[in-house]
Amino acid sequence: MMRIGIVGCGHIGMVHGAALERLVDGGLVDARVTATFDTDPARAAALAVPHGATPATTLDALLDAVDVVWICTWTAAHADAVEAAADRGLPIFCEKPLAPDLAASERVAAALRRVPHQVGLVLAYAPVFRTAAGLVRSGRFGRVLTTILRDDQYFPIQGMYGSSWRGDVAKAGGGTFIEHSIHDVALLAAILGDPVDVSARTSSQFGHEGIEDQALVTLGYADGTTATIASVWHQILSRGSSRRLEIFCERAMLWTEDDYLGPLHVETDDGVELFEAEAPPWIDRFAGLAEFAKPIAQYAEPSKAFLDALAADGPAARGWPDVDAALAAHLVVDAAYRSASGGGTPIPLRSRGPSAE
């Protein structure tokens, strides 16, 4: 049995904990959360309870007592935790973003490369987006012309998120684009490939210095395709995290307003066809999901994939998305912020390196 430690027991740590709990209780993985750690001991103790885990008093104590670690701290704290775990040779699941800026992200990536790892860009596993990517890549509807992705969420320092650190640029690195829409950047890369340039405009309406709550980002591709991400944090507390994706091809428009199962709507001259994506069949072993069914399911599949890879391949395991995918997304985020600071001037992107396809 693999002993899992969770470092960082706020909102996202609780979500990961709930996903892992369902996987364990469903007999889907040979693992269990056995230790938790947070700079707030009360949060570590609370997350430990449903797992029968031990709240550790220090990061070192947790790392010495587990076989694999989930890093779920605020963004700026990833580097120290990842390096400490990598120094012990522990496999690491690291939440996104890797770090508050590109240079620090490359430091985190260097540590992750030393061990089996996976990055929490969970939209890669969403059945509706995998369906969309498959249809686009099939060529069935001709070339992609343009893609529009709207991503909105209430400002996550409140409500069920309660992540006060997201209003602190020193901890977060930025606002809605790096913290929330880095998911969107990675998603578009999975569907469209890597962009060659980025232009952006950002603004902040809620008074958190360095934390943009609006970003309009345009990605350009070598074949002339364009994609636009409209990312916004608002104060409509009745709206949690919501996405709408529209892909215009030569002979079809594909769209969805759900970022897990869809449905995916495909309009052609023949009418509208609905593609109903399906959750993994083992999801029916989960119990007690209630209103959190969707986020837990979204996190359970990548968690299971990583643990399965570790069980199969041991020290040679490498989860997906990995540091290459994460750094590619960070390159786009960094270019977007540089473009915005320069009034929207397009910024060319350097290649992600020899591992790029």
- Predicted confidence at residue 123, as pLDDT, reads 94
Predicted TM-score (pTM) of this structure: 0.94
Identify the H or E element spanning 169: helix 169-172
Q: Does the 124-280+327-348 domain belong in CATH 3.30.360.10?
A: yes
Burial class (CB in 10 A: 0-12, 13-18, 19+), 206: middle
Q: Using an 8 Å Cβ cutoff, are 305 and 22 in contact? A: no
Burial class (CB in 10 A: 0-12, 13-18, 19+), 80: middle
Q: Kindly give the pairing relationship between strand 271-275 and strand 264-268.
A: antiparallel
Q: Hey, what CATH topology would domain 2-123+284-321 get?
A: Rossmann fold (3.40.50)
Low-confidence ranges of the chain (pLDDT < 70): 287-293, 351-357
How many residues are recorded in the chain? 357
- Predicted confidence at residue 153, as pLDDT, reads 96
Read off the pLDDT of residues 303-341 as tens digits, 9 standing for 90 and up: 999 999 999 999 999 999 999 999 999 999 999 999 999
DSSP string, 315-337: GG---SS-HHHHHHHHHHHHHHH
**Partners of 237 in beta bridges:** none
- Predicted confidence at residue 356, as pLDDT, reads 36
- Predicted confidence at residue 292, as pLDDT, reads 62
- Predicted confidence at residue 357, as pLDDT, reads 35
Rounded distance between C-alpha atoms, residue 14 and residue 20, angstroms: 10
Identify the H or E element spanning 274: strand 271-275
Rounded distance between C-alpha atoms, residue 134 and residue 123, angstroms: 15
Query: Which residues neighbour 270 within 8 Å (Cβ) at sequence distance 6 or greater?
Result: none
Measuring CA to CA, how many Å separate 224 from each of 45, 142, 147, 192, 346? 53, 14, 12, 11, 14
Peptide bond into 263 cis (omega under 30): yes
Measuring CA to CA, how many Å separate 12 from each of 19, 253, 330? 11, 34, 20
- What are the sequence ranges of the domains in the chain? 2-123+284-321, 124-280+327-348
- Residue 98, number of CB atoms within 10 A of its CB: 30
Rounded distance between C-alpha atoms, residue 303 and residue 316, angstroms: 17
Read off the pLDDT of residues 143-154 as tens digits, 9 standing for 90 and up: 999 999 999 999
